[in-house]
Amino acid sequence: MYLRAAVTSVLLVVVQLGFADCDCSNPVVRKEWRALSNSEKLAYIDAVKCLQFQPSQLGHVYDGARCRFDDFQATHINNTDYIHWVGFFQPLSGGIALSCLNMSQICGAYAAMRGPNLKSDLNRKSFFNDAWHRYWDWTLDVNTEADFPKSPVFDPVYGFGGNGAYINTTLWANISQHVPGKTGGGCISTGPFANMSVNMGPGANSFSYNPRCLTRDFSPWFATRTLNASVVASALRAPDFYEFDRRVEGGVTIDTGTYHSGGHKGVGGDTGEITDLYSSPGEPVFYLHHANIDRLWDLWQRLDWPSRKYDISGPDTAYAYPFNFYGDKPYRNITLDYQMDFQGLLSTDSQIVAIDDVMDIQGGRLCYTYA
Ligand SMILES: *[C@@H]1O[C@H](CO)[C@@H](O)[C@H](O)[C@H]1NC(C)=O
Ligand SMILES: *[C@@H]1O[C@H](CO)[C@@H](O)[C@H](O)[C@H]1NC(C)=O
Ligand SMILES: *[C@@H]1O[C@H](CO)[C@@H](O)[C@H](O)[C@H]1NC(C)=O
Ligand SMILES: *[C@@H]1O[C@H](CO)[C@@H](O)[C@H](O)[C@H]1NC(C)=O
Ligand SMILES: *[C@@H]1O[C@H](CO)[C@@H](O)[C@H](O)[C@H]1NC(C)=O
Ligand SMILES: *[C@@H]1O[C@H](CO)[C@@H](O)[C@H](O)[C@H]1NC(C)=O
Ligand SMILES: *[C@@H]1O[C@H](CO)[C@@H](O)[C@H](O)[C@H]1NC(C)=O
């Protein structure tokens, strides 16, 4: 650990002197969902399914994890209380990008080996390089409330399927904060994930095997108020990372939620999987939503690249200042050498990712771009 920290500081100095980015002459291009061809969309969906066919590598520590897809959900459940409303919330997406890239490599190999089961993948050249590299620009789907459920992301064939059947949750005592304008709540019944099994959750420490359907509970009302272009523009106007991050993470209430919260509760309402603070990565759309959050951070950085490439701050402790919604807590502000631990999602010799390694999506350990 000490050695790695020392090496990181040396690297940091070198990077600041302007020498050092790794070669990234041919970055993978991450595209918006509707910019993909139909076969690219199906390739992505198959990549997700591939992770759901792969055996879990963490099932020995997380009881309920049955497949590789579940390992992401389990790791998120295990870390939920430490990774939200902290300064490194956005840098985490870089590590997710690293692990997802690796997952797509594994699945590429799997598709090659298991041709009969995933035969179509063999014919899709994009599968190896493009899997996971997609995002959802929700601003395109919230001009009116009626637009939201019609998003191509929810297409029954070339998307993730639609809303769940309506459930009236008004009198449910176990919902701490109702999302106004909810329109669904039950299992999704269309699309390629209609029969998927969400294996863990809901809530904290929910690692035991609890197979359930995937639920959604669209709130077009919340989506139009949190995912629109002016909410994004307001974040992009932030003068420094400290303020930018506050505008992205928002508060914990309905009134103070911004676009991070919007992608969760706009899709998940009261009872959708993606609303669950802990088990939300059980919803495949989670990854497209977070890729867009990552894209907007990159966009903000490139408005003033020389200084924003190195601008990071915020507490190392969840719910500490300025996210002290529940009172003050001791904390330190993070810096570029802060180390994120991706636990079982990356191999043991690479699971520690310094923030400095993910400040530039075309440097350090990352090599992708957004179209
Ligand atoms: C949901 O239930 C509440 C309480 O019973 C009721 O007042 C409300 O009208 C119901 N909403 C809908 C949309 O059915
Ligand atoms: C929440 O309460 C409702 C109504 O009592 C119940 O049907 C539902 O299963 C509960 N959900 C959880 C996660 O406990
Ligand atoms: C889901 O399962 C049901 C019942 O087994 C089946 O009729 C339906 O075709 C399946 N849907 C998908 C999208 O796989
Ligand atoms: C965008 O969101 C803001 C903040 O919720 C809201 O005031 C504004 O009316 C929204 N704009 C549109 C076009 O929905
Ligand atoms: C963390 O940074 C913020 C913003 O610069 C500052 O207001 C706060 O005092 C710092 N906290 C600590 C513990 O250094
Ligand atoms: C779960 O998180 C805790 C706290 O960060 C960590 O000590 C533990 O090793 C994690 N479990 C696994 C299986 O990675
Ligand atoms: C990617 O996955 C393979 C197979 O699980 C593993 O051997 C390799 O170390 C991983 N690479 C990284 C960067 O984690």
Q: What is the pLDDT of residues 117-170, one digit of tens each?
A: 333 333 333 333 444 578 999 999 999 999 999 999 999 999 999 999 999 999
Query: How far, in Å, CA of 259 to CA of 265, rounded?
Result: 10
Instruction: Tell me whether strands 28-32 and 134-135 are parallel, antiparallel or unpaired.
Output: parallel
The closest residue, in CA terms, to atom 4 on ligand 2 is 172
Q: What is the pLDDT of residues 322-353, one digit of tens each?
A: 999 999 999 999 999 999 898 888 878 888 88
Query: Is 228 touching ligand 4 by the criterion CB < 6 Å?
Result: yes
Ramachandran class of 283: left when φ > 0, alpha when ψ lies in -120 to 50, beta otherwise: beta
The closest residue, in CA terms, to atom 7 on ligand 7 is 347
Q: Is 166 helix (H, G, I), strand (E, B) or coil?
A: strand
pLDDT at 132: 54
Among residues 230, 226, 213, which one has the least CA distance to residue 180? 226
Tokens 């890729």: give the residue: 291
Reported confidence tier of residue 366, pLDDT bands at 50, 70, 90: confident
Ligand nearest to the CA of 182: 1
The closest residue, in CA terms, to atom 9 on ligand 7 is 347
Q: Is the pLDDT of residue 175 over 90?
A: yes
Cα distances (Å, whole numbers) of residue 298 to 248, 292, 303: 13, 10, 9
Average pLDDT over residues 296-323: 96
Q: What is the pLDDT of residues 263-278, one digit of tens each?
A: 999 999 999 999 999 9
Reported confidence tier of residue 107, pLDDT bands at 50, 70, 90: low
Query: Is 346 touching ligand 7 by the criterion CB < 6 Å?
Result: yes
What residue ranges do the domains of the chain occupy?
A: 28-370
Average pLDDT over residues 23-51: 85
Class in CATH terms, 28-370: mainly alpha
- Å from CA of 333 to ligand 5 middle: 6
Q: Is the pLDDT of residue 73 over 50?
A: yes
**Best substitution site from 321, 324, 328 to test ligand 5's pocket, by max atoms within 8 Å of Cβ?**
321
Q: Is the pLDDT of residue 65 over 80?
A: yes
Q: Which amino acid is at 213?
A: C
pLDDT at 51: 79
Percent with pLDDT over 70 in the chain: 85
* Exposure on the CB side of residue 40, measured as CA atoms within 13 A: 16
In ligand 6, the atom with minimum distance to the C-alpha of 343 is 14
- Å from CA of 349 to ligand 7 middle: 9
pLDDT at 118: 37
Task: Report the mean per-residue pLDDT for the chain.
Answer: 85
Q: Is the pLDDT of residue 17 over 60?
A: no
pLDDT at 114: 35
Q: Is the pLDDT of residue 212 over 80?
A: yes
218-235 CB burial, b ≥16 within 10 A, e <16: bbbbbbbbbbbeebbeeb
pLDDT at 350: 83
Ligand nearest to the CA of 343: 6
Cα distances (Å, whole numbers) of residue 154 to 75, 157, 264, 289: 26, 9, 14, 13
Tokens of 309: 């490439």
Query: Which contiguous run of DSSP H or E holds residue 224?
Result: helix 220-226
pLDDT at 9: 31
Query: Is 80 touching ligand 6 by the criterion CB < 6 Å?
Result: no
Query: Is 343 touching ligand 7 by the criterion CB < 6 Å?
Result: no
